[in-house]
Structure 1
Amino acid sequence: MKVASIALICLSSFAQDKVKPEENGAGKHQGVEAGFDPPHQTETRTIYIANRFPQSGLYTPQKFIDNRIISSKYTVWNFVPKTLFEQFRRVANFYFLIIFLVQLMIDTPTSPITSGLPLFFVITVTAIKQGYEDWLRHNSDNEVNGAPVYVVRSGGLVKTRSKNIRVGDIVRVAKDEIFPADLVLLSSDRLDGSCHVTTASLDGETNLKTHVAVPETAVLQTVASLDTLEAMIECHQPEADLYRFTGQMMITQQLEEILRPLGPESLLLRGARLKNTKEIFGVAVYTGMETKMALNYKSKSQKRSAVEKSMNTFLIIYLIILIAEAIISTILKYSWQAEEKWDEPWYNQKTEHQRNSSKILRFISDFLAFLVLYNFIIPISLYVTVEMQKFLGSFFIGWDLDLYHEESDQKAQVNTSDLNEELGQVEYVFTDKTGTLTENEMQFRECSINGIKYQESNGRLVSEGPTPDSSEGPFYRNSLSHLNNLSHLTTSSSFGTSLENEIELIKKHDLFFKAVSLCHTVQISNVQTDGIGDGPWQSSLAPSQLEYYASSPDEKALVEAAARIGIVFIGNSEDTMEVKTLGKLERYKLLHVLEFDSDRRRMSVIVQAPSGEKFLFAKGAESSVLPKCIGGEIETTRIHVDEFALKGLRTLCIAYRQLTSKEYEDIDRRLFEARTALQQREEKLADVFQFIEKDLVLLGATAVEDRLQDKVPETIEALRMAGIKVWVLTGDKHETAVSVSLSCGHFHRTMNILELTNQKSDSECAEQLRQLARRIEEDHVIQHGLVVDGTSLSLALREHEKLFMDVCRNCSAVLCCRMAPLQKAKVIRLIKISPEKPITLAVGDGANDVSMIQEAHVGIGIMGKEGRQAARNSDYAIARFKFLSKLLFVHGHFYYIRIATLVQYFFYKNVCFITPQFLYQFYCLFSQQTLYDSVYLTLYNICFTSLPILVYSLLEQHIDPHILQNKPTLYRDISKNRQLSIKTFLYWTILGFSHAFIFFFGSCFLMGKDISLLGNGQMFGNWTFGTLVFTVMVITVTVKMALETHFWTWINHFVTWGSIIFYFVFSFFYGGILWPFLGSQNMYFLLSSGSAWFAIILMVVTCLFLDIVKKVFDRQLHPTNTEKAQMYSNTVALSDEFIALQPLSRARNQLSKLRWKKIRVQSAQHMNLLKASTEGRTLIKTNSSVKCLDSMCCFSEGEATCASVGRMLERNNLHVTKDFAFLIFHVYFLTVI
């Protein structure tokens, strides 16, 4: 329950209490006419409604910002310098800038264009992307800031733009309009000054919230009456918390000053929408970028994936290689130039200036020149390619139909694309229970009243066993009839109790359900209230007449249960709550609401009954209510609560206290003082709540059921099979949490359950941990599960972290109950910083899960019924827990393989690119002569080799998606960053160096100095030699990418073979073959030689042959689980994830067409089978218990059929190929559809 969702507020209790200046200890103030300077502190702001300031000279108005929303980062004037500054903060961009400047300052072997153009390309692409995104933000801002609004000025309504609203302006908002600023409600079209608001756009909560104006302004419903209002508001400075607002309003009426407290129930937030109310008037207190909506724009803390960390490590290693090559080259140059014939040959005499120049400066200059020559070993386009891959790849999650929840019409959302590959590295999953593992759809099941347990059955309470005064049971109680006629109270045997005891028992039941019907924040949407509650309800009638709205599903379930029993909450008007019992309408005056908070874990209301008696009704967790009770069946109820929890039911305890007039006056005074305090209001309220909620009489307890979500046990088991440890972190009590853990498969029945609960001291906790460690060591064969409560966890984390972690690491499953939100985050942080540094994932659905979601490496928000705060603060949002399996096992697996290959391939192809350049220096006496043409140097990473790897990193599916999802063990093959390990890194690096050696020395051998390769007897020159090496390199690295590709689409074919074709076409054009004005005809000379053709083919085959042989031997002798699955995987891979979700009907049609297209009829036998199937002659559906044959099935919906058809053919001694069996299944499946 959240403060903002309180339907009826405590301010109504102050409606009759006018505070005169001389009676209020807060201080004396004078009227506006006389002028006054109110108390002003730096933590607060003073706002004069309608900007009616005191007389000139007596008050200096505070300055506030205007109402413009600015979400853009740049302006026309600062875009260029700001975007350049941001981009050059990146190490890679700054490095290439330095290289470019070095080329400009000294004589280097390559043109500055070779570094400047790629750098310019990367900077320009990023700037265009950022500029376009900011342009969209500007358009959005202009649309919001230019929206028409109505403001009360000069005694009338003035139409203006939203950006022109000032703090203090009175704004009129009509039904279904969005509030243009943070407004304090002054009045509405209702007499009580209330209005209904939905904050779905802010926190995702769809339930209506009620806000109420203070009584003095609620009657001002016209512009003319508002124009006479003299009042000021003092409130705290802006803060981002949506649910916190502290202030007070000083109203001057007939020289009398009235002080009213203001809280969250008085504030209408910008971005919220007015519902079910014709119009309201409110005064702007926060505007523009100081509104709570704007303050919540702040970005989440940056999370870095394991792949990004590996990539930075590899960059450092290659930077070291680069510097080493430059140093070696510089040293060898001066070593060889020690001889005069090499240092100063006759044809290249030095100038006098060169002879007299400093050797140190020459050494530095040569070092920088070599650095420039080899700088391409650092891939300049790596970062921009990775960014594009992550950004474009993130769309596939939202497009995945399997992650779409049709009932709620919600698809998966990606809030950050930086962690896509991290989904494939998860080792720990931390999950909330309520709303995450369960449906969060509460159904009232049982209750305990005055020490007797009851179950609900069709609006009747059925006792479990005899009552205290009866000899035997069961005992039935009709809905309401027991309140008027004891003869309607039926049992299986006669009562032997006195009438007085029976009446007392009935009163307890009545008071229990009255408490349930009054102590809540439920709102009501009623179609018809006449006749409701006139008799016992039938369950089928309730939904058609009343519809309850609540921020907490527990409250809604309890109020609905009370209505079925017969005590019907009808609604509220002004400061009263209406309850109907047997046709009799009872009005309870709502005096105060003591709002729920996570520290107290309870809420209370103070009401005045029609008889004039005042009651405090409280409900909350058993641990927070029972210690406050001094009467009632406390111990019996405690036992019943434990029994309910063992069944997996959620429990709340109900208690009350009858207040005397003197007690209420004291409570009312204390609450007023606390609520009107501007400083430390929350702390003062907490103290007052503790003072009020004491000496309670226990009425009983409720038990509601929260069903498990679909496929939760299967998902948890799949996570366990994938090597992922699952921890459940919940605020529920111990028994409930353990019961749900057992039912969802988190704990197995055969698992040894260890407990660390109810620890009172550090020494006791340490001793218990040591005992648990010994038990685990003694019984290391069996699996262990650990249960920890919040109190014991605090003790364990205080001084015994290492011992606690040792116990947890040896447990297959851990359950933490009675957890506070910050404790959840602390547990995750403890795992994150452990020596193994595992990758963690947190999943939750409520606001109390936000801290752990933000703490984990990957945060998953469930779009449930507790609002959207978890989804808004998460990295990814899904509708159901079961979607987690595909998100990790399919998308996570694909993303990791794609980007890991991308990173390794980028470094590989750049090693291939630069190593021949380094080797060439041995043949040119380290004169810094470049091997390649400057144009080739510039375009290698930008044009010739960039697209194949980009498309691969977006579309690659190295194994069929359904196999990944159905075989969670394949997830282990990529865990712990295996694809970017040192071993894999060394393989790709050595492969790059070996290929580069073949490129260079192969060309040298085939084009020796004594060999004539042209028909006219001429030999290749330096540039033609470089063109040969470059041509072999482009073809080899491109075909290498083709060998790594398993999932071929027309896009892959287009960019792979198109890149090679583009290289030749460009070379023809650049070499003067297609364009005669360009004189360099290196490609013409190269392709004129048959020996060159032979050399190209031979070197490409030689390079790739060894790689192919290694792959074949590895797959045959030491195959991984993934490679084994690939052998049995279907040749047909379905691309369901590439089909856009909207509109859904169209996507389904596309999906069906795609499935048909992918069925390839490869023989006449296949065609005959297809024809026969359309005639309905070969379709047989067998027992669904048959398991799937992975080698033939690619639809999870058809697993049983695939296997059964295969076995049917085996019984008939038919030889079935994989394709044939695959076709049989698809024919059957598609015909059934």
Structure 2
Amino acid sequence: MYLRYIDMHGSFDIDEYWVDSRTVYIGHKEPPLGADAYIPQRYPDNRIVSSKYTLWNFIPKNLFEQFRRIANFYFLLIFLVQLIIDTPTSPVTSGLPLFFVITVTAIKQGYEDWLRHKADCSINECPVDVVKEGTVVRTQSHKLRVGDVVMAREDETFPCDLILLSSSRDDGTCYVTTTSLDGESSHKTYYAVPDTTAFKTEQEVDSLHATIECEQPQPDLYKFVGRINIYKESEDPIARPLGAENLLLRGATLKNTEHIYAVAIYTGMDTKMTLNYQSKSQKRSAVEKSMNAFLIVYLCILISKAVINTVLKYVWQWPADHDQPWYNHRTEIDRERHVVIRAFTDFLAFMVLFNYIIPVSMYVTVEMQKFLGSYFIAWDKDMYDDEMGEGAQVNTSDLNEELGQVEYVFTDKTGTLTENNMEFIECCVDGHVYIPHAICNGQILSAQQEDLFFRALCVCHTVQVKEEETVESIKRGIHQGKATSSYISSSPDEVALVEGMKRLGYTYLRLKDRHMEILNKEDEIERFELLHVLNFDSVRRRMSVIVKSSAGEYLLFCKGADSSIFPRVVSGKVGQVRARVEQNALEGLRTLCVAYRSLSLAEYEEACHKLSDAKLALQDREQRLAQAYDLIERDFTLLGATAVEDRLQEKAADTIESLHKAGMKVWVLTGDKMETAAATCYASKLFRRSTQILELTKKRTEEQSLHDVLFDLSRTVLRQRSLLSVDCQDYGLIIDGATLSAVLKPSPESSGSGNYREIFLEICRNCSAVLCCRMAPLQKAQIVKLIKASKEHPITLAIGDGANDVSMILEAHVGIGIMGKEGRQAARNSDYAIPKFKHLKKMLLVHGHIYYIRIAELVQYFFYKNVCFIFPQFLYQFFCGFSQQPLYDTAYLTLYNISFTSLPILLYSLIEKHVSIETLKRDPTLYRDIAKNSLLRWPVFLYWTCLGLFDACIFFFGAYFLFDNTTFTSNGQMFGNWTFGTLVFTVLVFTVTLKLALDTHHWTWINHFVIWGSLLFYVIFSLLWGGIIWPFLNYQRMYYVFMQMLSSGPAWLSIILLIMVSLLPDVVKKVLCRTLWPTATHLAQVGPQLDHTRGWFESFYQH
């Protein structure tokens, strides 16, 4: 909320000049004489440009971006080589696939950019009301300039970032929704500085003489630093601080407020919304890394093939009679070239001939698979939450398969494992426990200390009354036991505490004219003037308010975590309150301590001066505020503590249990105290009653040195691991933030690496679960980074719901945000967003599992079918004198990867289900079968490569030996080389397609249509290609070739025989593996079939 800052000394000590700031002249008025010099500054207009291209730069810019990709650049080089030198294949064979890929991508990107142009035009031409010379003038949004005073009406969207000057409401506030920015639909309150709230009309606003100094544009939606200098006649300028509570962001919408006046502070591409268009750092999946490694291997194979053939060519041509074969058609220039140049040219020609081993269309297919596959997550009705009215969201489709490789899950507690729906349970005042229903049953609270405690909780908060009621109606509701005023706040804890105080007889009514009104248990209204709010932050872990009572007493109330309050307390029943706090924490309740301090006038003035200096600073404002808070929040008297219950989310325990069964290690990272977090871990089955808890906490390190504690724990877990027992002890580790800092900090005591990290990691590896409590946001990210960098390099996932979880979400391999009650910062910065923690189970065990299987099969299959395609070409050179004669026709070379074999594998990678979804949800252990990138390891890659080589040998040598000196046509003629190549190609296309059919477990009509349709397309194309004399071709070598092959009975038998022999090893492998070495996945696949067969026999015998 907006804070009122008063400089008790009449001046402000502004001693810094910040070059990274901007000065805005409201209404473009120059400052009065005697003020700072007027320096006109140029800022961008309010034109929004989200498009990447223009009509003039689209082609060169798009081509430049596409050819920055290594694969595209590689195929461009191959195409250029074909144009420059005499190569065995037409440039069309490389150029057409490359042109297809580039064109499809360019059309897609061009269409998307055209949509962005349309959206930009709509936004830029939106009408906006601007105050000029005391009147409201309507203009277009793109004509706005920094310093213009804008008038916005209810339900209008703000055209740029604005500083609120005044509103139609008396208190200068306005209500805003920021759904388009962070997804939060609740109304937020924004404030004008008190000195400008009186400017209610256009003429009054136009008379305002002020400047604003603020930070340069930056993308953080929730931070803003600035100050406004207001000039009045015959008075010194008044400086007031500006913060995020004064900044109205572009894209937000005005609600429940008739109109406002605000000044444009950031326009166009400088607005925070536009700056947030920038994408997060790119994350690369394990599959992508494996794919790149395989490409390097195949590139080495390609180069080695070209080198071998070049060497063998010159070895074969070494005899004089082979040096000038008639088919080479050398020119005089060719004969005069140096042998090294000729050899290099031949090397390039062989590179062109064999370059199809690198799958040109694999990149496009993988991108399409990821993009289209991500929609299945968004469309999943099981991950739709009726209460929120939202389902899962995919912020990036590049990591779908990574969901199937997670080894460590790092989760927040509050709002992630728990509902973040707080309920006030009890409070402890001076060692006495008060429960709301017991109070309501007649217990009387009369002690002055108790009244002070309840008043503290009624004023020390940032809660707002949702719908204000009259005092009489509130009294009637309380006496009749009916619900009265409802409260809203960014913190569910505060709402629970205020509602709990209402049940105890103290009702917070409202904040009016900077006065907080409370209805006490005697039905009397008490008023406290709100002077300052020392907002909560995750470092201090407390918040405070300074108020002035009706009796003129200055009071500082503070509430926060016990670890934050107790060190600052100098009096009060600390021992009794601490004991109750620990008892509540053991029961899993969230606890807060409450303290106060009475301020003298001198102390209050000193506090005001420190706060004013800090809040007026443009540079390092947060650090200065932290120093001021530290000096003010001290010497407290402890009043008591509160206990609030945060229930565990539905099916959170089941989800964690399933993740454990799937082989994942779950860590809970929370800022809560150890006892509260441990109770939640037991309730969520992270810890079991049989789990031996190992503590690495500040309390223990105070009794022993950190060195001794670490080595004791290490010996404990390693001793257990060395025991050859089936029933090994299950360990769980608890560590707090203070000890973690000591562990991560280099220490002279530790040897070797110079720190304790490796010992700590060794302990964690042998624990099934870890609880990290009292964690700061940065420490959460440090934990994730530590595990990522360990020698195993495990795949990590971080999940949370609040802004304090963003750092670990960005650090992890996969970041998942919960659409929780603490805002949408986590969901906005995540790779995926889900409504509840329970949806993580299906996200990983079903979608992750299936996506990994699909993409792994896609990658391996692409390399396999290209080995099958190009190795016969390599073998053919041994039978044609290494003359670079292609085995296949140009059309087949061009269309193999584009048309004949690409669509079946794309469809397979989108809809294949090797195991039913119900089985995957029921049996989490199936996740272990694909762990650690098992389907893309080097042994599996070598198997697919060897299988491709075996099939290629069957294709080539089978056709060669079957056709050797044999007549295959009815007129006694033998097949020529193009017929031979066509037969090999036919066997190739049918084999690789039927292999995909063998691997398909989930058959639908779409599978049948695509698989058999692609084979039919090949046959029809070949009939047309060889059945017509094409006038645009300078050769007709394929004329009637395919029809001649089909007219031969032996050719038909050969094709069928070769296909069967090629597929036989794969069939044998499947049978042997399922029979002798079945995995859990194999058993899961067989189970439903056995159940179906058993059911059929039972029904048969019953009849």
Per the TM alignment, residue 975 of structure 1 is displaced from its structure 2 partner at its CA by: 0.5
| 1:46 partnered with 2:39 | no
**Which one of the candidate residues 501, 504, 508 is aligned to 1:562?**
501
| 1:245 partnered with 2:124 | no
Residue 776 of structure 1: aligned partner: 717
| 1:791 partnered with 2:791 | no
Describe the SS at the equivalent of 1:218. Answer: coil
Describe the SS at the equivalent of 1:217. Answer: coil
**Which one of the candidate residues 444, 462, 469 is aligned to 2:424?**
444
Residue 488 of structure 2: aligned partner: 549
Residue 875 of structure 2: aligned partner: 919
Question: Does 818-827 or 173-182 show the bigger shift?
Answer: 173-182
Residue 551 of structure 2: aligned partner: 611
**Which one of the candidate residues 573, 584, 588 is aligned to 2:512?**
573
Describe the SS at the equivalent of 2:550. Answer: coil
| 1:416 partnered with 2:363 | no
Deviations 1:1098-1136 (A, max 9, x none): 1111111222122112111111110111001259xxxxx
Per the TM alignment, residue 269 of structure 1 is displaced from its structure 2 partner at its CA by: 1.5
Per the TM alignment, residue 1074 of structure 1 is displaced from its structure 2 partner at its CA by: 9.8
Q: 1:446 to 1:1083 in 2, by over 3 A?
A: same
**Which one of the candidate residues 657, 660, 679 is aligned to 1:720?**
660
| 1:1013 partnered with 2:892 | no
How do 1:213-362 residues align onto structure 2 when only pairs under 5 Å count? 213-256=192-235, 257-345=237-325, 350-362=330-342
How do 1:614-625 residues align onto structure 2 when only pairs under 5 Å count? 614-625=554-565
Q: 1:970 to 1:347 in 2, by over 3 A?
A: closer
| 1:511 partnered with 2:452 | yes
| 1:151 partnered with 2:130 | yes
Structure 2 counterpart of 1:393, one-letter code: G
Per the TM alignment, residue 355 of structure 1 is displaced from its structure 2 partner at its CA by: 2.8
Describe the SS at the equivalent of 1:531. Answer: helix
Question: Does 101-110 or 653-662 show the bigger shift?
Answer: 653-662
CA distance in 2, matches of 1:206, 1:1048: 43
**Kept after mapping to 1: 8 A contact 2:671/2:773:** yes
**Which one of the candidate residues 442, 457, 461 is aligned to 2:439?**
461
Residue 743 of structure 1: aligned partner: 683
Residue 1096 of structure 2: aligned partner: 1217
Describe the SS at the equivalent of 2:231. Answer: strand
Residue 432 of structure 1: aligned partner: 412
Describe the SS at the equivalent of 1:216. Answer: coil
Deviations 1:630-659 (A, max 9, x none): 111111111111111000000111111111
CA distance in 1, matches of 2:468, 2:8: 37
Question: Does 307-316 or 791-800 show the bigger shift?
Answer: 791-800
Equivalent pairs: percent with the same residue?
58
Question: Does 652-661 or 330-339 show the bigger shift?
Answer: 652-661
**Kept after mapping to 2: 8 A contact 1:40/1:46:** no
Question: Does 100-109 or 180-189 show the bigger shift?
Answer: 180-189
Describe the SS at the equivalent of 1:261. Answer: strand
| 1:1091 partnered with 2:1050 | yes
Q: 1:193 to 1:1219 in 2, by over 3 A?
A: farther
Describe the SS at the equivalent of 2:707. Answer: helix
Deviations 1:224-272 (A, max 9, x none): 1112111111112112222222222221222322222222222112122
Per the TM alignment, residue 197 of structure 1 is displaced from its structure 2 partner at its CA by: 2.0
**Kept after mapping to 2: 8 A contact 1:521/1:550:** yes
Residue 491 of structure 1: aligned partner: none
CA distance in 1, matches of 2:798, 2:893: 46
CA distance in 2, matches of 1:351, 1:200: 73
Segments of structure 1 that go 5 or more residues without pairing to the other structure are 1-5, 28-38, 463-475, 484-502, 1132-1190, 1193-1205, 1207-1214, 1225-1233
| 1:10 partnered with 2:12 | no
**Kept after mapping to 1: 8 A contact 2:969/2:1047:** yes
Describe the SS at the equivalent of 2:421. Answer: strand
| 1:988 partnered with 2:944 | yes
Per the TM alignment, residue 665 of structure 1 is displaced from its structure 2 partner at its CA by: 1.6
Residue 632 of structure 1: aligned partner: 572
Per the TM alignment, residue 382 of structure 1 is displaced from its structure 2 partner at its CA by: 0.4
Per the TM alignment, residue 670 of structure 1 is displaced from its structure 2 partner at its CA by: 2.1
Describe the SS at the equivalent of 2:472. Answer: coil
**Kept after mapping to 2: 8 A contact 1:394/1:420:** yes
Residue 1196 of structure 1: aligned partner: none
How do 1:857-936 residues align onto structure 2 when only pairs under 5 Å count? 857-936=813-892
**Kept after mapping to 1: 8 A contact 2:18/2:619:** no
Residue 1111 of structure 1: aligned partner: 1070
Q: 1:719 to 1:555 in 2, by over 3 A?
A: same
CA distance in 2, matches of 1:888, 1:685: 43
How do 1:937-948 residues align onto structure 2 when only pairs under 5 Å count? 937-948=893-904
Structure 2 counterpart of 1:1012, one-letter code: T
CA distance in 2, matches of 1:1038, 1:51: 71
Per the TM alignment, residue 762 of structure 1 is displaced from its structure 2 partner at its CA by: 13
Query: For this pair of structures, how many residues does the alignment match?
Result: 1078
TM-score, normalised with respect to structure 2: 0.95
**Kept after mapping to 1: 8 A contact 2:8/2:608:** no
Residue 137 of structure 1: aligned partner: 116
Segments of structure 2 that go 5 or more residues without pairing to the other structure are 722-727, 746-754
Question: Does 1044-1053 or 935-944 show the bigger shift?
Answer: 1044-1053
Structure 2 counterpart of 1:50, one-letter code: G
Per the TM alignment, residue 18 of structure 1 is displaced from its structure 2 partner at its CA by: 9.4
CA distance in 2, matches of 1:560, 1:676: 35
CA distance in 2, matches of 1:738, 1:1061: 63
**Kept after mapping to 1: 8 A contact 2:8/2:609:** no
RMSD: 2.2
Structure 1 counterpart of 2:275, one-letter code: L
Residue 1042 of structure 1: aligned partner: 997
CA distance in 2, matches of 1:121, 1:25: 66
Describe the SS at the equivalent of 2:894. Answer: helix
Per the TM alignment, residue 1004 of structure 1 is displaced from its structure 2 partner at its CA by: 0.7
Residue 935 of structure 2: aligned partner: 979
**Kept after mapping to 2: 8 A contact 1:960/1:1129:** no
CA distance in 2, matches of 1:477, 1:432: 40
Question: Does 64-73 or 870-879 show the bigger shift?
Answer: 64-73
**Kept after mapping to 2: 8 A contact 1:149/1:171:** yes
**Kept after mapping to 2: 8 A contact 1:912/1:993:** yes
CA distance in 1, matches of 2:476, 2:969: 107
Q: 1:637 to 1:382 in 2, by over 3 A?
A: same
CA distance in 2, matches of 1:440, 1:327: 66
How do 1:559-708 residues align onto structure 2 when only pairs under 5 Å count? 559-581=498-520, 582-708=522-648
Structure 2 counterpart of 1:541, one-letter code: K
Deviations 1:463-485 (A, max 9, x none): xxxxxxxxxxxxx654xxx46xx
Residue 1175 of structure 1: aligned partner: none
Structure 2 counterpart of 1:1126, one-letter code: Q
**Kept after mapping to 1: 8 A contact 2:146/2:266:** yes
Per the TM alignment, residue 190 of structure 1 is displaced from its structure 2 partner at its CA by: 1.8
Structure 2 counterpart of 1:137, one-letter code: R
**Which one of the candidate residues 695, 703, 711 is aligned to 1:755?**
695
Residue 1161 of structure 1: aligned partner: none
Residue 767 of structure 1: aligned partner: 708
**Kept after mapping to 2: 8 A contact 1:441/1:706:** yes
Describe the SS at the equivalent of 2:641. Answer: strand
Residue 520 of structure 1: aligned partner: 461
Residue 467 of structure 1: aligned partner: none
Residue 202 of structure 1: aligned partner: 181
Residue 1003 of structure 1: aligned partner: 959
Deviations 1:1016-1048 (A, max 9, x none): 121111111111111110111111111111111
CA distance in 2, matches of 1:1019, 1:538: 107
Deviations 1:720-754 (A, max 9, x none): 11111111111100100111111110000001100
Deviations 1:149-207 (A, max 9, x none): 10001221111111111100000111122221111111111222111222233233344
Deviations 1:1120-1169 (A, max 9, x none): 110111001259xxxxxxxxxxxxxxxxxxxxxxxxxxxxxxxxxxxxxx
| 1:537 partnered with 2:483 | no
TM-score, normalised with respect to structure 1: 0.85
Structure 2 counterpart of 1:425, one-letter code: Q
Structure 2 counterpart of 1:1216, one-letter code: G
CA distance in 2, matches of 1:347, 1:1057: 41
**Kept after mapping to 1: 8 A contact 2:453/2:640:** yes
